[in-house]
Amino acid sequence: MSQKETMQFETEIQQLLDLIIHSLYSHKEIFLRELISNASDALDKLKFESQTNQDLLGDDTELKIRIEVDREARTLSVIDNGIGMTREELIENLGTIAKSGTKAFVEALKEKKESALELIGQFGVGFYSSFMVAEKVELVTRAAGTDQAWRWESAGDGSYSIEKSDETRRGTRVTLHLREPGEGDQDYTQEWVIRNIVRKYSDFVIYPIVMEIEREEVPTDDEGKPIEGAKPVKKVTEETLNSMKPIWNKRKSEVSEEEYKEFYKHLSHDWNDPLETIHINAEGILEYNALMYIPAQAPFDLFMPENKSGMQLYVRNVFIMDNCEELLPAYLRFIKGVVDSADISLNVSREMLQHDRVVGKIRKNLVKKVFDTLSGMLGNDREKYLKFWENFGQVLKEGLHTDFENREAIADLLLCASTKGEELTTLKEYIDRMPLEQKEIYYITGEDRETLAASPHLEALKEKGYEVLLFTDPVDEWVLQGLFEYQGKKLKSVAKGEVDILPEEEKKEQEEKLKKLEDEFSGLLNFIKKTLDGKVAEVKLSQRLTASPVCLVADENALSASMERILKAANQPVPPSQRILEVNPDHELLKQMRELHRRQGESDELKEFAELLYDQAVLTEGSKVASPEQFCARLTRLMLQAAAARAGENPEN
């Protein structure tokens, strides 16, 4: 036996343990569910690995979870013969718990925006719930295929120890040294307490959860009759505590709401109830059972590269693989669930699975069922759908760019902010409100709703009473490239190209007016373009401005200003581009600049005005000016001149 090595938890771990111990008083029994779920996961992983490496099972082929209780020593152990852990995995999973997002957890805790229970569910730290009932936790584990076992121990005091163990069996044993039960607490060494907890939370686990039960029995004769006068003798038998009937194979009428919730928590390690449950029992040419859940809360790693599918695949109740990406597209990765089919080959590999026609058909049906469920939620329970959208809307939108076949169904589910009011709207609702003469669906992209609603690009549309959609999620710039039209109406960015909102008669009048104004403003426009050489591609009179003096407009096929900002923030290369500076010929500032140019020509003062106009256009689109110092200096000089003029003084003195 090697010397015991003591290590420190991450700096945040003690806060985490204090929170779990002191904040979850009424949920103490949950610790057993979490340990059983971990054991079940370990058995799933072993079963999966053994599909390609049968030697991992050895002679120990009966996979099960065992509960052992020592009432005198006040210990409770949960034992599995699953995949086990190496020393490195012990440190990674139980020492730093980096995979559980500890730092993000503590930051969220400090903000106090959610309850402790919700946060623990979100960050997946269920193992540490053991310290609610235990003064010390020991864990002995031996990874499948290795010859060295390890012992981990902690009292939840900020440190843990690791040393070698002489354990010869594969798997993991977690032993809790239980505290004495306080007033109102359950005694977790009592058989009936353990039975009730297992039945309540883990009855659906597909592996037998067994425990040795001691009973007093009266001896019987050869005919099985009790022997008269014989004293009862103690007899120990191993009993299975759970039914092991997979919940997904039951009919909907056979499953209670509570059972659905508990299976979700077992499957996802989320302590919150799911937002929605989808249960499918498909019969006929293609037979399969599926149980899927829409979580109520997005996990912290939803957009991290390592985030995987939440679907498990079974074939005839045999676990085949976890994180099965072939069952649902990536933009539905927030769905948690199980699919079981007898029509898939039992020895299917991941490579074969990608080309399996049965899996393809199941996938298509699952996606349709998810869309039907979300559509029903949108139509019948808007408040619940808004909660879904707040958590998973950005992920669902990804499908607009990646799933051409279901693009229309996804578009039906979109919720967008708009200039109409505070409430989010669907595209269908937008079209239903469109004036008859409106030709296109107008939108603008940017960082926040308030800035977009006040954008100069919207002025002419507001005058016409046209509604504009406001897209503020960073993913919108990308997904809108896959949504060109909806129900025959094209989507048109009001910050790109020309915006055609006038009927034919008004359009002709506007063109004649602009032609006349272009002659009047040609000198000023050429001067501004010369002054801003290298910054703008063109300077022209605007048809979209009614109140503001200027705005910047991108070419129809160019990147928007919002997209450029996103790429720069991500340190991605941004193709060189120059936008068009549109000026408002009806604005008093432009009229004064025209007169100033006519009288003074290319003066330094007019150059200052041109530079300030450009910076103003940059700021109103939500971007940053190239040189804040120069912008402030110019603004200060103009303010001094204006102040001096008002006071009747010469600013040169």
**Is pLDDT of 146 > 50?**
yes
Predicted confidence (pLDDT) per residue in 341-371, tens digit: 888 875 555 556 666 788 899 999 999 999 9
Under the banding of pLDDT at 50, 70 and 90, the label for residue 430 is: very high
CA-wise closest residue to 420 among 486, 477, 465: 465
Q: What is the dihedral of CA 437, 440, 443, 444, to 10 degrees?
A: -100
432 and 397, same structural domain? no
Under the banding of pLDDT at 50, 70 and 90, the label for residue 405 is: very high
User: How many alpha carbons fall within 13 Å on the CB side of residue 79?
Assistant: 15
Predicted confidence (pLDDT) per residue in 69-105, tens digit: 999 999 999 999 999 999 998 888 776 644 444 455 5
In a domain, 46, yes or no: yes
In a domain, 182, yes or no: yes
**Is pLDDT of 323 > 90?**
no
286 and 355, same structural domain? yes
Instruction: Provide the percentage of residues in the chain whose pLDDT is more than 90.
Output: 49
212 and 84, same structural domain? yes
Pull the structure tokens for residue 322: 């976890």
- Read off the CATH number of the domain in which 349 is found: 3.30.230.80
In a domain, 23, yes or no: yes
578 and 536, same structural domain? yes
Side chain identity at residue 387, one-letter code: K
In a domain, 41, yes or no: yes
Distance CA(576)–CA(622), nearest Å, equals 19
229 and 260, same structural domain? no
* The pLDDT of residue 175: 97
Last residue of a domain, one of 197, 216, 240: 240
Q: Model-level pTM?
A: 0.72
Alpha helices in 51-170 (DSSP H): 87-90, 102-111, 116-123
- Read off the CATH number of the domain in which 602 is found: 1.20.120.790
In a domain, 653, yes or no: no
In a domain, 429, yes or no: yes
Instruction: Provide the percentage of residues in the chain whose pLDDT is more than 70.
Output: 89
- Read off the CATH number of the domain in which 423 is found: 3.40.50.11260
Q: What is the DSSP string of 407-476?
A: HHHHHHT--EEETTEEEEE-HHHHHHHS-TT--SEEEEE-S-HHHHHT-GGGHHHHHHT--EEEE-STTH
Under the banding of pLDDT at 50, 70 and 90, the label for residue 333 is: very high
- Structural domain including 355 reads 247-402
The mean pLDDT of 226-251, rounded to a whole number, is 86
* The pLDDT of residue 123: 41
Which residues 6+ apart lie within 8 Å of 250 measured at CB? none
Q: How many domains in the chain?
A: 4
Predicted confidence (pLDDT) per residue in 34-69, tens digit: 899 889 989 988 988 888 888 999 999 999 999 999
In a domain, 432, yes or no: yes
Under the banding of pLDDT at 50, 70 and 90, the label for residue 120 is: very low
Pull the structure tokens for residue 118: 């919700």
**Is pLDDT of 249 > 80?**
yes
621 and 545, same structural domain? yes
Predicted confidence (pLDDT) per residue in 596-625, tens digit: 999 988 888 899 999 999 999 999 888 888
Distance CA(259)–CA(203), nearest Å, equals 9
* The pLDDT of residue 112: 46
For the ranges 161-170, 266-275, 353-362, 582-591, which has the lowest average pLDDT? 353-362
367 and 258, same structural domain? yes
415 and 548, same structural domain? no
486 and 366, same structural domain? no
Answer for the pair 315, 345: CB distance below 8 angstroms, yes or no.
Answer: yes
Predicted confidence (pLDDT) per residue in 192-207, tens digit: 999 999 988 888 788 9
In a domain, 527, yes or no: yes
**Is pLDDT of 338 > 70?**
yes
Other C-beta atoms closer than 10 Å to the C-beta of 393 total 19
Distance CA(413)–CA(417), nearest Å, equals 14
Distance CA(329)–CA(530), nearest Å, equals 51
**Is pLDDT of 218 > 60?**
yes
606 and 536, same structural domain? yes
17 and 74, same structural domain? yes
Pull the structure tokens for residue 137: 């936790």
Q: Average model confidence (pLDDT) for the chain? A: 85
Last residue of a domain, one of 471, 493, 515: 493
**Is pLDDT of 214 > 80?**
yes
Last residue of a domain, one of 371, 402, 433: 402
* The pLDDT of residue 330: 92
- Read off the CATH number of the domain in which 209 is found: 3.30.565.10
510 and 642, same structural domain? yes
